[in-house]
Structure 1
Amino acid sequence: MEMRVDFHTHIIPEDLPDFTQRYQGDRWPVLKRTCACGANIMVAGKVFREVTDQVWSPQKRIQDMEREKVDMQVISPIPVTFSYWAPVEEALAMARIQNDFIAEVVKQYPDRFIGLGTVPLQDVEIAIREMDRCVHELGLKGLEIGTNVNGANLDDPALLPFFEMCEQWNVPLFVHPWETLGRERMPLHNLMYTVGMPSETALAAASLILGGVMAKFPRLKICFAHGGGSFPYILARLDQGWRVWPHLRLLDQPPSYYAKNFYFDSLVYEPVNIQYLIERFGHERIMMGSDYPFLLREIPPGEAVDRTLELTEEQHRAIFGENALRFLNMSPVKVSEK
């Protein structure tokens, strides 16, 4: 029987401190309870997102996993908590609270959860120090990072030492959109989520390639949320740009050559998109992910993969669990062994 691992889920501590009181400023996310099983995440006095106890309760998550036939969740912070904009010591405090919480959840339920941490990327030296703690002390299996750092793309030279240590320590990275480009043009229809996030993710992926990061660190493990956003579908256009503008080239090979090193979650909703990702990058690079527990999530997790009828049993097993465990440097586990 296959192991089903949901690579893309988010969690937040129920007792997250109110940093607007501790450090002042109104950009901090604050968890304000609305009832016994719900809360609002508030930013600048406004509701950023309505959430239920699914977002903080391991027991509630396990109930949902049982119902939706998920064996394990990879839990990572909610991107609004990245706080790259804040003074680094304050952002570090926010990161450590979450990293400690995630590590504790994994410790309590090691057969149900795998943890990813977060680091304050506005200061690479401190980010590396917290990455060291996450991986080598807390036992977290990787990090979630944002698609930009205060408007600087991921190929910013200041970030190179961070990626160098990720490669050296073999720390997998889950890149999730946040602070999306063009959000001032997307106040209506929640376009920031449906158009802005996919575009932001494409910019991050393209920057890592065209800026030479992937060429410099070819063993770097990176997975992009939401199936890579619009990146897989503009890759041919990036290749064409590389061909027609040779004076701009920093790379010996076209972008598609380096994109083969990327991984993607399966949150693309339609079997035709799953099939395209497989044809473009190989089934070994796709990991089932649902975006649990938010509104845009796929229910049940992996539903589009299940509807992709052309998949072989080997591909199915790989996408649903084996790829995620391998990406996270963990040994595949049979359900019967749990």
Structure 2
Amino acid sequence: MRDAKSFQVFDLHHHVGSLDIVGGTKGGAGSAGDGMAADAEQRIAFMDRHGIAQALLMPSNGYQAPNGIADTRRVNDSVAEYRERWKDRFPAALATVSPLEGDAALDEIDRCIEVLGMKGIVWHHRFQGCAIDHLRMDALLERVRHHGVPAFIHIIGDSKLESPWKLEVLAERFRDVKFVALDAFSSPDFAHWMPHIARRHPNILFDTGVMVPVSHMIERFVREAGAHRLLLGTDFYSSPKLFSVPFPLLEILASDLTDGDCAEILGNNARRLLGLA
């Protein structure tokens, strides 16, 4: 198997904070102060063990928001601070807003791009209480288009709110916006859809977070859609521990893909997308 250190591996899918919706989490792992430092130590140790040079940070999902947009601002500020403190390993970060936060979400997109220097906006609609193609998304994506940054949207395999066809609706409405489908290979069924979706929508890229170990069809996807459409992501959370090894990375390294294709998937594509190349 190829060595990850032969590539400048860039992991596109790291969440800062706990997945509070999963039972048994303690929360607060990505918060400022000693908690943030402890989180970074754990995260960087994981990356070093597996030859991951850099990663893209994004907020955790399911964070408590009794104060609405104020809590979303707090979460985005925390992710931006994390990036700044360890920028050699985390050179870029994403912000989030809820489609249900009204016009305040538009102002927060502006602040995150213009003030915090975020490289895109991410949504995980199953945690945000609405479908991917909710009409409120139109205004948010208009603002994303104005700033010229990508929209990152989760399509986890067990959520009807995040069914891939709903992302297709948005990609059709906003053909000049670059979308990244996170968790695109999270079920064997989804894995068979992805080459077809890629052919229909050239403005969608696809990440490997939560990639299933059997029938993930990655090599077929590359044959049919091209290596330039695929991005390595592991879906790392501060807590709880969801896996011990970065399966998508190991699977791609062990695959029959060419070294050139691996280099694109494991880092080059992400750096180009984020303006880091």
For Structure 1 versus Structure 2, the TM-score category normalised by the shorter chain is 0.7 to 0.9
The question of whether the paired residues in 2 share the 8 Å contact of 1:266 and 1:305 is answered with no
1:165 to 135, 143, 146: 143
CA separation in 2, counterparts of 1:157 and 1:105? 32
3-state SS of paired residue (2:180):
strand
> What stretches of structure 1 move > 6 A for 4+ residues in a row?
none
The question of whether the paired residues in 2 share the 8 Å contact of 1:287 and 1:323 is answered with yes
* Per-residue CA distance 1:195-236 (angstroms, 9 max, x = gap): xx4132784420132x3x322211212222223434342469
1:199 is aligned to 158
Write the mapping of 1:1-338 to structure 2, written as runs, cut at 5 A. Answer: 1-12=6-17, 47=23, 49=25, 56=36, 57-81=39-63, 83=65, 90-113=67-90, 114-147=92-125, 152-176=130-154, 197-200=156-159, 203-209=162-168, 211=169, 213-229=170-186, 230-234=189-193, 257-267=199-209, 268-270=211-213, 273=216, 274-293=218-237, 294-297=240-243, 299-300=245-246, 302-308=249-255, 310-328=256-274, 330-332=275-277
**Percent identical:** 22
Q: 1:132 to 1:48 in 2, by over 3 A?
A: farther
Q: 1:331 to 1:103 in 2, by over 3 A?
A: same
For these two proteins, the number of residue pairs brought into alignment is 258
CA separation in 2, counterparts of 1:291 and 1:149? 15
1:242 is aligned to none
TM-score (norm 1): 0.66
Larger Rg: 1
Select between 220-229 and 161-170 the one with higher mean Cα deviation.
Answer: 220-229
Question: Post-superposition shift, 1:48?
Answer: 5.1
Question: Post-superposition shift, 1:3?
Answer: 1.4
Question: Post-superposition shift, 1:94?
Answer: 1.4
Q: Which has the higher contact order (CA 8 A, sep 6+)?
A: 2
CA separation in 1, counterparts of 2:232 and 2:179? 15
Question: Post-superposition shift, 1:271?
Answer: 8.0
3-state SS of paired residue (1:5):
strand
CA separation in 1, counterparts of 2:219 and 2:191? 12
CA separation in 2, counterparts of 1:318 and 1:102? 26
CA separation in 2, counterparts of 1:202 and 1:313? 37
Letter in structure 2 aligned against 1:107: E
Structure 2 unaligned regions, length at least 5 = 1-5
